[in-house]
Amino acid sequence: MPEDNLVLVEGLRKWFPKHTSLLDRFLGMEREYVHAVDGVSFAIRRGEVFGLVGESGSGKTTTGRAILGLTPPTEGRVIFDDVDLTALDKTSLRKMRRRMQVIFQDPMASLNPRMSLGEAIGYGLRIHFPQLSSDERRDRVTGMLDKVGLSPANYFYNRFPHQLSGGQRQRAVIARALVTQPELVLADEPIAMADVSVRALLLDLMNRLKREFNLTYLFITHDLATAKYICDRIGIMYLGKLVEVAPLRELYTYPLHPYTQALLAAVPIPDPHRRRTKPMPKGEIPNPIHPPAGCRFHPRCPLAQDICSAEEPPLVELRPGHTVACHFAEQFLP
């Protein structure tokens, strides 16, 4: 049975040119590039929450932005519901954009401080549904405010961002993203700034809205502990590459890539009886301008052999639905 894929990412590459001085160019210095995303392929199934997890600089945010067409890829294709987004012109791309929305980390930066919530949330409707009357628009906005828990909606309709708490602001951002009835929502660290007691509420809200509106989420996070409470499948990124993709439980129980294993071991457990004793990999995530040859994790990997610096391991399926890019992952198979 073929999978029902909403998004298909094929060989996605995004290189950002590094600034070079005029003198360097005169001297014929070769232009350098930041290899932010360097050949990533995966699929997001309709109705699932796909988590992209990685440390800063792993390319997870750039991947998300490229999927939404917010940044043109250097190479590769993004296919959204059988339409190749990378081949679309601006007008058609804008039409497709209605079907995808985004929630960023910092709600204060995502909301215009001079717009009331009603205006801010209604703005997208104005653009994507110009045929709506102002009354219809208002109804949709207040309906959405209720759905995200900003009640009484008529009260919040006229509030400004600075009058809200952090948690309420993020709810407003969620309302704005969902009011245009998208199918795909890119949530980039949507709860990273919220306090613990608010996080649980926001996760619950996102789960509830997903069921109610049949949404598909691309959930980007650095936090594997949080990802566990919302994701169905997870892709682990390291230095512009996808190193492992697996369903949630599978990944947490049988992590096959040494990097995934280190990442899981590093997550602090809120239990003083379970203090970590496992040592962490040496070094830090290297410079993406000159990524290491072969497997990008090899300089830090405890298992590294000669082959790892010479040959890049491909993503292979070692267990059903579980792919990993490592020359020596077989030894971790249960």
Partner 1 sequence: MSNQKETLVQVRDLSVTYHTRLGPLSAVDHVSFDIYKGEILGVVGESGCGKSTMGKALMRLIMPPGEISSGHIIFDGEDVMQYDQKQLRDFRGRRISMIFQDPMTSLNPVQRVDEHLIEAIQVHEPQTPVEAALRRARTLIEKLGIQKERLRDYPHQLSGGMRQRVMIGLGLVLNADLIVADEATTSLDVIVEAKLLDEFKKLRDEFNLTILMITHNIALIAQIADRIMVMYAGQVAEIGDVTEVFDHPRHPYTEGLLRSVPNIELDEREELYKMGGEPPNLSRPPAGCRFHPRCAQAMPICAQREPELTEISPGRFVHCWLYQDHPQEVAHA
The C-alpha angle with vertex 183 and arms to 7 and 98, in degrees rounded to 5, equals 100
Torsion angles phi and psi, residue 90, rounded to 5: -60, -45
Contact 44, 184 (CB under 8 A): yes
Smallest gap from residue 282 Cβ to partner 1 (A): 9
Site residues for partner 1, 37-96, by CB under 8 A, read 55-56
Q: Which two tokens stand for residue 130?
A: 């110009």
* Element housing 140 (H / E): helix 134-147
Site residues for partner 1, 166-195, by CB under 8 A, read 166-167, 195
Of residues 92 and 287, the one with the C-beta less far from partner 1:
287
Contact 159, 116 (CB under 8 A): yes
Q: Does 275 bind partner 1 (CB under 8 A)?
A: yes
Smallest gap from residue 55 Cβ to partner 1 (A): 4
Q: Which two tokens stand for residue 222?
A: 């650095």
Q: At which residue do the structure tokens 């608010």 appear?
A: 198
Enumerate the β-bridge partners of residue 34: 16
Q: Does 252 bind partner 1 (CB under 8 A)?
A: yes
Where would I find the H helices in 151-284? 153-157, 166-178, 196-213, 224-227, 248-253, 258-266
Contact letters (x/-) for partner 1, 222-251, by CB under 8 A?
Answer: xxxxx-xx------------------xx--
Q: Does 119 bind partner 1 (CB under 8 A)?
A: no
Stretch that binds partner 1, among 79-87, 107-115, 257-265, 305-313 (CB under 8 A): 257-265
Of residues 265 and 304, the one with the C-beta less far from partner 1:
265
Stretch that binds partner 1, among 23-31, 65-73, 118-126, 267-275 (CB under 8 A): 267-275
Q: Closest by alpha carbon to 174, among 126, 212, 135? A: 212
Q: Does 328 bind partner 1 (CB under 8 A)?
A: no
* Binding residue (CB under 8 A) for partner 1 from 19, 271, 306, 331: 271
- Give one DSSP letter per residue of 34-75, joined into a string: EEEEEEEEEEEETT-EEEEE--TTSSHHHHHHHHTTSS--SE
* Binding residue (CB under 8 A) for partner 1 from 139, 204, 311, 317: 204
Contact 147, 212 (CB under 8 A): yes
* Binding residue (CB under 8 A) for partner 1 from 2, 130, 272, 334: 272
Of residues 1 and 196, the one with the C-beta less far from partner 1:
196
Q: Does 268 bind partner 1 (CB under 8 A)?
A: yes
Contact letters (x/-) for partner 1, 280-299, by CB under 8 A?
Answer: xx--xx--------------
Q: At which residue do the structure tokens 């081949």 appear?
A: 87
Contact 220, 269 (CB under 8 A): no
Of residues 125 and 187, the one with the C-beta less far from partner 1:
187
Of residues 132 and 248, the one with the C-beta less far from partner 1:
248
> How many separate helices (H) and strands (E) can be counted in the chain?
13, 12
Residues lying near partner 1 in the complex (CB under 8 A) are found at 55-56, 165-167, 195-201, 203-204, 222-226, 228-229, 248-249, 252, 262-276, 279-281, 284-285
